[in-house]
A and B are shown apart, each in its own frame.
Chain A
Amino acid sequence: MQALENIANIRVPVIAAIEGRAHVHSDYALLASVIVAAEGATFQDVAHFSAGVAPGDGIFTTWSYRAGAGRAEAFLLNPQPLRARTAYEWGVVAEIVPNGQAVSRARELAELYLKAPEVTRRNTRVHFIQPLKERIVREVGYGLALEGASAADLVKSMRAKSEPVARKGKSA
């Protein structure tokens, strides 16, 4: 959560360039004002639901903010990768570029943004990120409590499974 807040507190335009697999912490990328993705890029959330943990650390808040809650929920429950093209249709990705060109396109955009006066650049970022920042502060503490409890339960059930049969027999 602190990492998310610190990215949200970057007061200059942030661009994310996704070249391949954004399969962990794509919430970081969704804090960018603009996401450029290569044609072959994919998004997935391998660290939460499919790994047995509730997606409470900001991944739901950021996806739900950018794509809408329905799409975010389906994405986070789906163990399959999401194509860049679909993320573009959802409005999460701003531009699709040929493979290998995400960073160079991000640099082009940076050059374009640098033409604006400094305070304009800074204040535009601050204004754009404000509603998402509010949601992070409001939602992610609770989400992390839910995620933590689910992770603790997962560990408990894994330990129970790995207990030797003899010990289980004794206690029964």
Chain B
Amino acid sequence: MQFQDDYLAAYRSLKLTRDANGVLVAEFHSNGGPFIMTAQAHTEFINAFYRIAQDRANKIVILTGAGGGVHY
């Protein structure tokens, strides 16, 4: 069964990019800058990590933060 990868561009606070080898980089951000936690972002993450886990095209997952930060 082939899963759709439409979720890759679906999140405001999580930028997902995958290279040809299946290395998925999940970057937490707020408007492209350091990520600031919000309730909406939290809801997004629940969905995003579920979809990432389901998608067999993801071979390795790298978690990181834009602009060097994850904070309030």
Main secondary structure of the interface of A (DSSP, over half): mixed
| B53 part of interface (Cβ distance < 8 Å) | yes
Q: Which residues of B contact A96 (CB under 8 A)?
A: none
**9 pairs, A vs B, C-beta closer than 8 Å:** A7-B49, A9-B50, A12-B59, A12-B61, A21-B71, A22-B69, A23-B72, A24-B72, A114-B23
Chain B interface residue bracket vs A = 20 to 34
| Known A6-B50, A17-B63, A18-B64; further 12 A-B contacts with Cβ < 8 A | A2-B46, A3-B45, A10-B52, A20-B68, A21-B68, A22-B70, A24-B37, A26-B70, A107-B25, A110-B21, A114-B23, A114-B59
CA of A115 to CA of B13 in the docked complex: distance in angstroms?
31
Query: Are B65 and A110 in contact, CB atoms less than 8 angstroms apart?
Result: no
Q: How many residues of A contact B (CB 8 A)?
A: 40
Query: Are B37 and A25 in contact, CB atoms less than 8 angstroms apart?
Result: yes
Query: Are B64 and A102 in contact, CB atoms less than 8 angstroms apart?
Result: yes
* B interface residue numbers (CB < 8 A to A): 21-23, 25, 34, 37, 42, 45-46, 49-50, 52-53, 58-65, 67-72
Query: Are A23 and B60 in contact, CB atoms less than 8 angstroms apart?
Result: no
The 6 closest A-B pairs by CB, nearest first: A20-B68, A6-B49, A23-B71, A19-B68, A17-B64, A110-B60
For B36, the closest partner residue in chain A by CB is A24
Partner of A15, one of B42, B49, B62: B62
For B23, the closest partner residue in chain A by CB is A110
